Amino acid sequence: MVRPIGALVGLGFVFVLLFSLITGAVNFIKEPPAPTVEHEFHLHPKKLDLASNGPLGKFDRQQLQRGFQVYKEVCAACHSLHYVSFRDLQAIGFSEAEVKAIAKQWAIEVPSVNPDTGEAATRKAEAADKFPLPYANDVAARAANNNAIPPDLSLMAKARHDGAAYVYSLLTGYQDQPAELLKHFPDAKTGAGLHYNPYFANLNLAMPAPLVADGQVTYADGTTASVDQMAKDVSAFLVWTAEPKLENRHATGVAVVIFLLIATTLAFLAYRNIWAGTKH
């Protein structure tokens, strides 16, 4: 008696499930969801070719140094890089002396303690220090940025889908709102203090375009600092801050693949040798 009842209950669940599925599909066809402004006008990141792309990718250290210069002269005023130390810059080609000079010349001093009085103080940054925060706290950050807190950029290239391409697209994607958008979604007009960018999730963000003109920075290696070039360079730099061991990971992956190929070949040859005299 228990089994037939259990079977009936199971069939009832299946029937309800199928009924809900069919009803939902019919309603979706008859009354599809209304399009949203984000769905209609949000763009996927542009394609970005960097030397670090792909399983065999390696960093272009000249580009990373240019990207650091863009971060230092443009982005550091608002965005932190708090998971990176000054001495880490040696990995992208700066000498120890250059790193010490960069830390000492940094515009923001780091918190410290007066050794004589024990009171809070500040001092010049040192190579062992992490990059200082641009604001004393979140309240100060909001007050200076239209009530928005600029995110830390240390892991941005991993925190966003297509991280480097996303950063590049965002930096080069500022534009006026399309007339078609305002025609179909008049309530979606960009508000005061916001800036339209189709590569941002909700199309409007508090950050104004940071890269506004060619030649905004002067590259030490003589590369022409167009807006497009600066955006590519700082995107490449943020790939490095997010994955400083990327080259080691790629090299390890190649070594493992080669080892597995050799091991598989040896195992197959051993199999053929051991079973060579056996008839099937």
Binding residues for heme c: 75, 78-79, 207
* 42 φψ region: left (φ > 0), alpha (ψ -120 to 50), beta (else): beta
Burial of 49 (0-12, 13-18, 19+ CB in 10 A): exposed
Output the known binding site.
75, 78-79, 207
Q: Which residues contact 124 (CB under 8 A, 6 or more apart)?
A: 103, 104, 106, 109, 110
Q: Which residues contact 41 (CB under 8 A, 6 or more apart)?
A: 178, 181, 198, 203
CA distance 117 to 119: 5
Q: In sequence order, what E strands does 107-197 have?
A: 110-113, 120-123, 195-196
